């Protein structure tokens, strides 16, 4: 049996965590390049926490330049068992208002220019992302948000766009009216795919900052209003995160949904045909099965 080790990937406005005991920023070397920043490690209520600012402190990475593979590899390399992704998002639903949180359970990936897998020529693998988030971990996030008195919606489809520009009105209407999406952001893909390949339980918490551009009373994204809402959301997110250790506990049992066994039958390349160079890079991500 493992001990729980919670990884938190903080999005726009969330660059650290308050209240960590024995906290320190730690550099992690990854064969997939440098992560977005050093990782903040420490404990909350006796549970180990690893925090990674997705855009780096000072917000130096755009959504397209975030080193997603290095980030997930670094978390896995430090022994993280559960990853909570927190990100700022726009809303396509009237009832999912700015200031609310959404526990995402599905994605539509419209990103086009990002490395989206640890595997490839020399070691081919196919994992299922039919259900890309972990229900157990998502429930813990919902419970923590409710305890923090955040208005939280369970379940929603996240449209991942390439960015860095916001949507056109026509795109916003299509994502809402034709595709039935609930929120829109720029960073949860390929992050969720990579977490699944790394056999990490992954939950996505979307912090609503605006109504994108579809809303008749909000004709375009107002960056000033977004920043104001973002600051309030980030403070609430820190409170939510602080409640997670008590909910998840010290002891980490096998995931009942199989997130931590996603590579069990996924690798297709015959052992004698696998690339030694690629296998060396996969030591943390896929070491359990390789």
Catalytic one of 105, 210, 222, 283: 210
Tell me whether the omega of the peptide bond preceding residue 196 falls within 30 degrees of 0, making it cis.
no
Burial category of 277 from C-beta neighbours within 10 Å (exposed 0-12, middle 13-18, buried 19 and up): exposed
Check 37, 82, 105, 212 and give the catalytic one: 212
289 lies in some domain: no
Q: What are the residues facing 102 on neighbouring strands?
A: 153, 206
264, part of any domain: yes
Q: Is residue 288 part of a domain?
A: no
Q: What pLDDT shows up at residue 229? A: 83
Contact 170, 178 (CB under 8 A): no
The separation between the first and the last C-alpha atoms of the chain, rounded to the nearest angstrom, is 20
Between CA 195 and CA 260 the distance in angstroms is: 10
The proportion of the chain whose per-residue pLDDT surpasses 90, expressed as a percent, equals 88
CATH of the domain at 108: 3.40.50.1580
Count of domains in the chain? 1
**Inside any domain, residue 265:** yes
In whole numbers, what is the pLDDT of the chain averaged over residues? 95
pLDDT range class, residue 234, cuts 50, 70, 90: confident
Q: Is residue 142 part of a domain?
A: yes
104 pairs with which residues across the strands? 204
Active site residue 29: no
Q: Is 143 a catalytic residue?
A: no
pLDDT at residue 220 greater than cutoff 70: no
The parent domain of residue 204 ranges over 2-281
Per-residue model confidence as pLDDT tens digits over 249-262: 999 999 999 999 99
Taking the C-alpha atoms of residue 202 and residue 83, their distance in angstroms, rounded to an integer, is 5
What is the band of 91 on the pLDDT scale with cuts at 50, 70, 90?
Answer: very high
pLDDT tens-digit profile of 16-73?
888 899 999 999 999 999 999 999 999 999 999 999 999 999 999 999 999 999 999 9
Q: What are phi and psi of 171, to 5 degrees?
A: -65, -45
Confidence of residue 215 (pLDDT cuts 50, 70, 90): confident
Domain assignment present for 257: yes
The answer to whether the CB of 198 falls within 8 A of the CB of 136 is no
In a domain, 149, yes or no: yes
In a domain, 286, yes or no: no
- Residue 186 — very low, low, confident or very high, per pLDDT cuts 50/70/90? very high
- Name the percent of the chain in helix, strand, coil, to the closest 5: 25, 25, 50
> Using alpha carbons only, what angle is made at residue 150 by residues 189 and 47, rounded to the nearest 5 degrees?
70
Using CA atoms, how far residue 133 sits from 96, 192, 204, 252, 258, in Å, is: 20, 7, 7, 17, 11
């Amino acid at each position: 049996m493992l001990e729980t080790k919670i990884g938190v990937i903080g999005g726009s406005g969330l660059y650290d965590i308050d209240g960590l005991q024995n906290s320190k920023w730690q550099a992690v070397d990854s064969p997939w390049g440098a992560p977005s920043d050093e990782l903040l490690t420490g404990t909350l209520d006796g549970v180990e926490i690893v925090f990674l600012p997705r855009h780096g402190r000072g917000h130096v990475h755009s959504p397209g330049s975030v080193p997603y593979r290095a980030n997930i590899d670094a978390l896995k390399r430090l022994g993280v068992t559960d990853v909570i992704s927190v990100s700022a998002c726009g809303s396509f639903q009237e009832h999912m208002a700015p200031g609310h949180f959404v526990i995402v359970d599905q994605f539509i990936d419209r990103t086009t220019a990002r490395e989206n897998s640890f595997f490839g020529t020399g070691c081919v693998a196919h994992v299922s992302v039919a259900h890309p988030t972990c229900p157990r971990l998502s429930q813990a996030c919902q419970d923590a948000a409710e305890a923090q008195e955040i208005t939280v919606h369970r379940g929603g489809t996240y449209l991942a766009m390439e960015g860095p520009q916001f949507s056109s009105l026509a795109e916003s209407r299509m994502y809402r009216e034709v595709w039935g999406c609930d929120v829109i952001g720029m960073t949860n893909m390929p992050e969720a795919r990579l977490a699944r390949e790394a056999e990490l339980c992954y939950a996505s918490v979307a912090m609503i900052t605006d109504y994108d551009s579809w809303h008749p009373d909000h004709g375009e994204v107002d960056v000033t209003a977004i920043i104001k809402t973002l600051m309030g959301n980030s403070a609430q997110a820190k409170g939510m995160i602080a409640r997670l250790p008590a909910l998840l506990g010290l002891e980490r049992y096998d995931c009942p949904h199989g997130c931590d066994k996603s590579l069990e039958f996924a690798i297709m390349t015959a052992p004698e045909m696998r690339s030694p160079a690629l296998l060396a890079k996969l030591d943390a991500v896929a070491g359990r099965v390789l």
